[in-house]
Amino acid sequence: MQDLPMSIHEGILREAEEANRAAPLLTDEGVAEALGRVGALVRERVSEIAAASREDVEAASGRLDEGTLDRLRLDEGRIEALAAQAEAMASLPPLERVVRVWRQPNGLLVQERRIPIGTVGANFEARPNVALDVAAQLLKSLNTGVLRTGGAALRTVTCLVDRVLRPALADAGLPPGAIGLVRTADREGARVLVSLPERISLVILRGSGETTKDLARLAAESGVRTLAHAEGGGVLYVHEGAKAERAVALAEESLDRLGVCNRLNLALVDRAAVGMLPGLLAVFRERELDVRGTERACRHADLMPLDAPVGHEWASDPERVSTVTVDVVDGLEDAVSIANEQTSGLTAGIVTEDSAAAEHFLDRYRGTVGLWHATTRFADGFELTGAPETGINVDWVPGPRGPVTYRDLWLRQYRVIGDGTQHR
């Protein structure tokens, strides 16, 4: 740590220590009350929050692209949505702490339990609503947290932490330091956040690209675990048994937003279904997308050739967000192989009226969310489980994979009670 500017390091350490001390004091009732207060305070302080956001947006204008600026912006409508979301979180059921209880043949009483993780770090993009979302989920699972936002949103996030979250915690009788903040826009802040294993054992890393990979590596070297919410890119496979209208409708619905990880990124059209290709292309052109075809797709339609790997995620390519890839595949096996091997494994759907084909596709697909006649946009914690997500984890590891919600943010613990008659 010698090479870190001490002021950043010390500042974050202080927030982490405060969050550590707060961790054992959280209760389900207290958190529900605090989240209710978050809703009220967001409404009370709407103009203050909006003003902070305007300052952030003004400072970033010209420096950041339109999509990023849009995500940075909190207008009154979006602020009201924040309040509603916090209240919705408040009313969700708390985690059941006891998963199972059983008695071993020798009489030993065993409980499998969920205990809080402690203090969790969260590093996210310059989107102030994410700060409130993530903080709410950490609290709801009785964890405390230290947040770090992309620098462009620091004013707004500071306002949300100091003027909403902390007062709400205090109003509910909980320690306000339960939510800490990295109070610098310096990227060094993110590096410190993933380097304090004694204080912050787990860090949620949103975002993709080299910066995130570097953070993950640094975390690993420091003995800090990460939940990576990285690559995405939805796949839609149009099988020969598809109805053309359904394929078109699903493609349309999967493209309502372009900067999100679960949008349609790669359309796979079966060779036996190329008759449906023109209809899909019409949808893409209507959305004014830059349609890129693989070599074999270009043989079937007049497309610009693809100049990236087939699974390349356009949503995380700021210059080319409005792009979609089209491939023509040799059948179901080919489609599912591409989805499994050439994409991040976030989500893939099939369009077909042939239920045996759908089942085969779903049985073979290994990503986090497999779909049949449903848009890839449903690969989302709120849409699937009713709880907002911290992000979607595409790791190939047991644990919270796919959409991660507060229901995932716990540690397994066994509690064992004997009476002196149990011997090994």
Q: Return the residue of 225, 287, 320, 360 that touches a second copy, per CB under 8 A.
A: 225
120 has which bridge partners? 145, 202
CB 312 → a second copy: shortest distance, Å? 17
- Closer CB to a second copy, 242 or 328, in the complex: 242
The first and second tokens of residue 344, run together, are 């991040």
Neighbours of 395 (CB within 10 A): 16
- Closer CB to a second copy, 331 or 418, in the complex: 418
Contacts to a second copy from residues 246-275, by CB under 8 A: 246, 249, 253, 256
| CA pair distance 27, 164, nearest whole angstrom | 19
Q: Return the residue of 118, 128, 145, 175 that touches a second copy, per CB under 8 A.
A: 118
Q: Return the residue of 103, 285, 296, 415 that touches a second copy, per CB under 8 A.
A: 415
Residue span binding a second copy (CB under 8 A) among the ranges 41-49, 84-92, 178-186, 213-221: 213-221
| CA pair distance 161, 182, nearest whole angstrom | 11
For residue 11, state whether it binds a second copy (rule: CB under 8 A).
Answer: no
Torsion, CA 155, CA 159, CA 161, CA 163, rounded to 10: 160
Residue that has been written with the tokens 């679960």 in this structure: 262
Nearest residue to 313 (alpha-carbon basis) of 378, 391, 232, 208: 232
The site map against a second copy for 374-413 (x = CB under 8 A) is xx-xxx---xxxx--------xxxxxxxxx----xxxxxx
Residues 6+ apart with CB under 8 A from 302: none
Residues 6+ apart with CB under 8 A from 156: 49, 52, 53, 56, 72, 74, 128, 131
Residue span binding a second copy (CB under 8 A) among the ranges 4-12, 65-73, 216-224, 302-310: 216-224
| CA pair distance 309, 66, nearest whole angstrom | 26
Q: Residue 35 in contact with residue 136, Cβ under 8 Å?
A: yes
CB 124 → a second copy: shortest distance, Å? 18
- Closer CB to a second copy, 58 or 419, in the complex: 419
CB 423 → a second copy: shortest distance, Å? 6
Residue span binding a second copy (CB under 8 A) among the ranges 65-73, 296-304, 318-326, 414-422: 414-422
For residue 220, state whether it binds a second copy (rule: CB under 8 A).
Answer: yes
Residue span binding a second copy (CB under 8 A) among the ranges 156-164, 214-222, 298-306, 323-331: 214-222
Q: Return the residue of 25, 67, 185, 372 that touches a second copy, per CB under 8 A.
A: 372
Question: Angle CA(352)–CA(249)–CA(335) in degrees, nearest 5?
Answer: 40
The first and second tokens of residue 395, run together, are 């790791």
- Residue 60 parent element (H or E): helix 46-60
Q: Residue 147 in contact with residue 157, Cβ under 8 Å?
A: yes
**DSSP code of 389?**
E
CB 37 → a second copy: shortest distance, Å? 27
Q: Residue 79 in contact with residue 50, Cβ under 8 Å?
A: yes
| CA pair distance 171, 37, nearest whole angstrom | 7
The site map against a second copy for 69-108 (x = CB under 8 A) is -----------------------------------x---x
Q: Return the residue of 3, 58, 307, 424 that touches a second copy, per CB under 8 A.
A: 424
> 414: helix, coil or strand?
strand
- Closer CB to a second copy, 14 or 412, in the complex: 412
CB 417 → a second copy: shortest distance, Å? 5
Q: Residue 49 in contact with residue 156, Cβ under 8 Å?
A: yes
- Closer CB to a second copy, 170 or 249, in the complex: 249
Residue that has been written with the tokens 């207290």 in this structure: 30
- Closer CB to a second copy, 24 or 309, in the complex: 24
For residue 170, state whether it binds a second copy (rule: CB under 8 A).
Answer: no
- Closer CB to a second copy, 18 or 56, in the complex: 18
Interaction site with a second copy (CB under 8 A): 24, 104, 108, 110, 115, 117-118, 201-202, 216-217, 219-221, 225, 227, 246, 249, 253, 256, 349, 362, 364, 366-375, 377-379, 383-386, 395-403, 408-420, 422-424
